[in-house]
Structure 1
Amino acid sequence: MAVVAGNSDLRIKESFVMIYSDFHGEKLSRLGLGMMRLPTNADGTIDEGRTAEMIDYAIKNGINYFDTAYQYHSGESERIAGRILSRYPRDSYNLASKFPGHAIAESYDVKGIFEEQLAKCRVDYFDFYLFHNVNETSIKVYTDPKWGIVDYLKEQKRQGRIRHLGFSCHGLIDNLREFLTVYGDIVEFCQIQLNYLDWTLQGAKEKYELLKEYNIPVWIMEPVRGGKLASLNPEDTEALIALRPYEKIPAWAFRFIQGLDNVAVTLSGMSDMQQLKDNIETYSCEKPLDEKELATLFNVAEHMKRGAPCTACRYCCEVCPMGLNIPRLISAYNDFNYQPTFSVSMMIDSLPENKRPSACIGCGSCSAICPQKIDVPSVMHSFASSLEKFPSWAEESKKREIAQEKNRLAAARKRVNDFLKSAETYFLATVDENGEPRVRPFGTINLFEDRLYIQTGRKKDVFRQLMNNEHFELCAFKDGEWLRVSGRLLEDPRHEPGIAMLDAYPELKSIYNVDDGNSVVMYIKDGTATFSSFSKPEEKIRL
């Protein structure tokens, strides 16, 4: 599948020329930039300046695949991706995003979310779009006709708003097989967690081989296991250096992947420029591992594992009075014991309560027959105890939803604030005591503590009208686009927003001050902003 860009001697020479995969006649960079772990500021927000530098370097050095998602960075990853990538020609990069059906929610508005994603990413279509995190729980959401997720996304593909439709999967092999049985004919690619540790720890080998049977190209996530494979213990480091003195330790993870012929794109969540430069250098040539190197690398992986040495002989299952799938639970325990993740806890949550680790009654029949002499009841007890302390996915989904909504509102209010400030004058409509409409020009708007404020005087008709009927509408026009905002205007009696307003409009200080009994600031509540023009569809956003 892989094709090398440039001269054929790239396999020997160190050269910074990206290698590509052929996917349906298109060239995709074998290394893609994952946008889940972008560089951040001290407050946790994305450092847009450093991110822009990294994307620019990536594009200049041949990366043409960028992967984001609705929930990455509390919803800000897509927005940042849109702002930065929109500076480049649309046909110079491939943008991938995902529908968050894995999140636990009361409802799943596939149309609303898809349209929001397009707007945030500033594109008319996605090159690649995925069902995000198909697992033992989310598969029920994706396959439920009530939500219409599959049918809607198929229609978007038919309309050209999705060029290629695929899915990511964190479930076990049976879950992957179930999804492929139903939707294997409509998906074009699959993204799985695969690296030389998870090749056996998470059963990535079996998933990879199943996808190959279906002729579905593989996209790889977590090639360095979130950085876990970038730094090894001294003994393992020495063993690898002895085989390839010139190869950096993180590069071994990528060289392992380069030996898999059904891998099209490897996504790396690079969070600083040095990681990006190192990985681009690695992907300037293919140097897959030979048999001796593979054996050494798998030995390194075994050293990293911490858990029960289950061989899945299943003798224990025959004697378990609770009918537990003990090998499956031990495999999940080993994965969770190495690094607690929601992927494992979500799989356990999908099981009936009487089939979970907590259902073990500690009879010891399993241990008595186990060839590996595993103390199975102790493993089940430890696993159940660890899961009990781990946050539930439902709690995490709600937490992420709240954070994402906060960011969405902040971005929407900033957009309205910036538009009205640049327009300089807008027109504010109210209703008088006789029910008649009244409109007048206004010029003040200020964003303070995530609220949009206007300023006026208590002695003015507009204030009295708003005290009688707090509903309003305003409109403004700028550069061929107009904005309408409706909602309620409520008084904020605090000094702080009033001071901030006068600081934003110092010319008003000769007329008003916060202690004069006249100056008043009001903030927009339950607002809706509508952006319109003759050149693009109307866009409504909640404030």
Structure 2
Amino acid sequence: MRYREIGNTGEKVSILGFGCMRFPLKDNKIDKKKSREMLIYAIDNGINYIDTAYPYHNGESEIFVGEVLKDGYREKVKLATKLPSWLVNKREDMYKYIYEQLEKLQTDYIDFYLIHNLNKKDYTRLKENGLFDFIKDIKERGIVKHIGFSFHDTLDVFKEIVDDYDWEFAQIQYNYIDEDYQAGTDGLMYAREKGLGIVIMEPLRGGALVNNLSSDITNIINNSLTSRNAVGWAFKFLYDKKEIDVVLSGMSSLEQVVENINIASKEGIKESMSKYEKETIKELRDMFKSKIRVNCTGCKYCIPCPNSVKIPNCFELLNNAFMFNDIGKNKEQYNMFLVGSGNDAKKCVECGLCEEKCPQHINIIEKLKEVKDTFK
């Protein structure tokens, strides 16, 4: 295993982190036997950054991780978990959750504590409820060693949060498709210049960069002069960047653990990609993006819609369906998150207000019809 120092914390962490949100299941619960084998193997083979969170596996993840680590493994790892920001409505809630997490994890301290899933709305509410005083207190008392945040919003919000406090690290979604998504490359570099450690989530885009690949994508991989599978290319892109300290992977089988450890050990060298390899990454990126159906940048100028259609979300799912050759998965998300909340494309009444505001001059009304037809 290879290690990097995370930001300015002085902590050396494995470049591959174990994300504890996709353990194998048995009867819709964590399969403890298989998952324990995976986690123990990972730690025994050099992974020392273990990442969990309050909601993972419907609250089971922290409990399970605590059970595994209590058998002499707690001291071998850097443990990360997260404050469920969306559940905090008053200052007392912050203490309620962290004390509950310490009990679940069977530990008296957390190495890396993140404010989970920050966006503009939740961040504003947390600050109003004394977030920074809470952080100061738990650090002074030694409950938490290092403080950071995970993020899902726009670049400008990311920069605002970075500038607002003396954070030690940030966790962002990043891969060779998402260089301009949410914090993106600009946010990554901005945070790094401020001295923050960088933790990466969704390196494989939830499996979309490696599963159910079109023949166009597999041809690029198979014809490359460098022998590397889709998983290897995705990780190599990230490990090559000297600004990245940890890449999290939510592994679901022992085979994935073994493969990812081998990739990290072999490929995890900073600034080691050849010009040719970078060209291959660009070919893969361009091929994925050539399948995009709507040139939506997610600027959100088109919303709020008077009929509550979440236009950028509709287009993101449409693009993902074709870019990653998986209509079924994106239809499921469309029904769950948009139809279920009354924000889907069929709510469009063709008033045209959104098209007047769109800086990309997208024919939004027609494209929303395509969303309806695709996910009907």
Given the two structures, how large is their TM-score scaled by the length of structure 2?
A: 0.80
Cα offset, 1:108, TM superposition: 6.5
What amino acid maps onto 1:280 in structure 2? I
Cα offset, 1:333, TM superposition: 4.8
Aligned partner of 1:378 among 366, 369, 375: 366
Matches within 5 A, 1:383-394: none
Matched with 1:188 is 168
User: Per the alignment, do residues 240 and 124 of structure 1 end up closer, same or farther by CA in structure 2, a change over 3 Å counting?
Assistant: same
Q: How far apart in 2 are the matches of 1:368 and 1:94? A: 46
Q: Report which structure shows greater RCO (CA 8 Å, sep ≥6).
A: 2
Q: Would you say 1:289 and 2:289 are equivalent positions?
A: no
Aligned partner of 2:38 among 54, 60, 73: 54
Cα offset, 1:364, TM superposition: 8.6
Aligned partner of 1:30 among 15, 26, 31: 15
SS of the equivalent of 1:157 reads helix
Cα offset, 1:301, TM superposition: 2.6
User: Per the alignment, do residues 308 and 86 of structure 1 end up closer, same or farther by CA in structure 2, a change over 3 Å counting?
Assistant: same
Given that residues 118 and 152 in structure 2 are in contact (C-alpha distance below 8 angstroms), is that contact kept between their aligned partners in structure 1?
Answer: yes
Q: Would you say 1:172 and 2:154 are equivalent positions?
A: yes
Matched with 1:207 is 187
User: Per the alignment, do residues 108 and 155 of structure 1 end up closer, same or farther by CA in structure 2, a change over 3 Å counting?
Assistant: closer
Q: How far apart in 1 are the matches of 2:352 and 2:235? A: 43
SS of the equivalent of 1:163 reads strand
Q: How far apart in 1 are the matches of 2:369 and 2:155? A: 25
Matched with 1:226 is 206
Q: How far apart in 2 are the matches of 1:368 and 1:174? A: 19
What amino acid maps onto 1:378 in structure 2? E
Given that residues 240 and 297 in structure 1 are in contact (C-alpha distance below 8 angstroms), is that contact kept between their aligned partners in structure 2?
Answer: no
Matched with 2:326 is none
Given that residues 172 and 183 in structure 2 are in contact (C-alpha distance below 8 angstroms), is that contact kept between their aligned partners in structure 1?
Answer: no
Q: How far apart in 2 are the matches of 1:358 and 1:102? A: 29
Larger Rg belongs to: 1
Q: How far apart in 2 are the matches of 1:158 and 1:386? A: 53
Given that residues 197 and 298 in structure 1 are in contact (C-alpha distance below 8 angstroms), is that contact kept between their aligned partners in structure 2?
Answer: no
SS of the equivalent of 1:377 reads helix
Matches within 5 A, 1:71-150: 71-103=55-87, 109-145=93-129, 148-150=130-132
Aligned partner of 2:25 among 25, 40, 44: 40
| Structure 2: stretches of 5+ with no match in the other structure | 322-329
What amino acid maps onto 1:167 in structure 2? F
Aligned partner of 2:295 among 293, 302, 309: 309
Given that residues 308 and 330 in structure 1 are in contact (C-alpha distance below 8 angstroms), is that contact kept between their aligned partners in structure 2?
Answer: no
Q: How far apart in 1 are the matches of 2:355 and 2:152? A: 32
Matched with 1:20 is 3
What do residues 352-382 of structure 1 show as CA deviations (whole Å, max 9, x unaligned)?
Answer: x9xxx969731696599967xx313334676
Aligned partner of 1:361 among 351, 354, 363: 351
SS of the equivalent of 2:95 reads helix
Q: How far apart in 2 are the matches of 1:386 and 1:143? A: 41
Matched with 2:325 is none
Aligned partner of 1:156 among 135, 138, 156: 138
RMSD: 3.5
What do residues 156-203 of structure 1 show as CA deviations (whole Å, max 9, x unaligned)?
Answer: 1111110000000011112212212322x2x10000000111113556
Q: How far apart in 1 are the matches of 2:222 and 2:120? A: 40
User: Per the alignment, do residues 168 and 244 of structure 1 end up closer, same or farther by CA in structure 2, a change over 3 Å counting?
Assistant: farther
Cα offset, 1:91, TM superposition: 2.4
Cα offset, 1:139, TM superposition: 1.5
Q: How far apart in 2 are the matches of 1:386 and 1:102? A: 32
Q: Would you say 1:217 and 2:197 are equivalent positions?
A: yes
Cα offset, 1:233, TM superposition: 1.9
Q: How far apart in 1 are the matches of 2:172 and 2:69? A: 25
SS of the equivalent of 1:109 reads helix
What do residues 315-353 of structure 1 show as CA deviations (whole Å, max 9, x unaligned)?
Answer: x97xx9x999xxxx87655433216569xx79xx9xxx9
User: Per the alignment, do residues 127 and 311 of structure 1 end up closer, same or farther by CA in structure 2, a change over 3 Å counting?
Assistant: closer
Cα offset, 1:298, TM superposition: 3.0
What amino acid maps onto 1:155 in structure 2? D
What amino acid maps onto 1:111 in structure 2? Y
Q: How far apart in 2 are the matches of 1:89 and 1:212? A: 31
Given that residues 111 and 146 in structure 2 are in contact (C-alpha distance below 8 angstroms), is that contact kept between their aligned partners in structure 1?
Answer: yes
Q: How far apart in 2 are the matches of 1:53 and 1:364? A: 52
> More displaced, 273-282 or 98-107?
98-107
Matches within 5 A, 1:361-510: 361-362=351-352, 366=356, 374-379=362-367
What amino acid maps onto 1:376 in structure 2? I
Q: How far apart in 1 are the matches of 2:252 and 2:349? A: 41
Matched with 2:221 is 240
User: Per the alignment, do residues 386 and 82 of structure 1 end up closer, same or farther by CA in structure 2, a change over 3 Å counting?
Assistant: farther
Q: How far apart in 2 are the matches of 1:218 and 1:266? A: 9
What amino acid maps onto 1:114 in structure 2? I
SS of the equivalent of 1:192 reads strand
**Percent same amino acid at aligned positions?**
33
What amino acid maps onto 2:294 in structure 1? A
Q: How far apart in 2 are the matches of 1:21 and 1:193? A: 19
Cα offset, 1:385, TM superposition: 11
Cα offset, 1:238, TM superposition: 2.3
Cα offset, 1:155, TM superposition: 0.8
| Structure 1: stretches of 5+ with no match in the other structure | 1-17, 390-543
Structure 1 residue runs of 4 or more that deviate by more than 4 Å after TM superposition = 103-108, 329-334, 339-342, 357-360, 363-371, 380-387
Given that residues 363 and 377 in structure 1 are in contact (C-alpha distance below 8 angstroms), is that contact kept between their aligned partners in structure 2?
Answer: no
Given the two structures, how large is their TM-score scaled by the length of structure 1?
A: 0.57
Q: How far apart in 2 are the matches of 1:368 and 1:193? A: 26
Q: How far apart in 1 are the matches of 2:373 and 2:84? A: 29
Given that residues 64 and 94 in structure 1 are in contact (C-alpha distance below 8 angstroms), is that contact kept between their aligned partners in structure 2?
Answer: yes
User: Per the alignment, do residues 369 and 268 of structure 1 end up closer, same or farther by CA in structure 2, a change over 3 Å counting?
Assistant: closer
Q: How far apart in 2 are the matches of 1:49 and 1:336? A: 35
Given that residues 202 and 335 in structure 1 are in contact (C-alpha distance below 8 angstroms), is that contact kept between their aligned partners in structure 2?
Answer: no
User: Per the alignment, do residues 72 and 89 of structure 1 end up closer, same or farther by CA in structure 2, a change over 3 Å counting?
Assistant: closer
Matched with 2:240 is 259
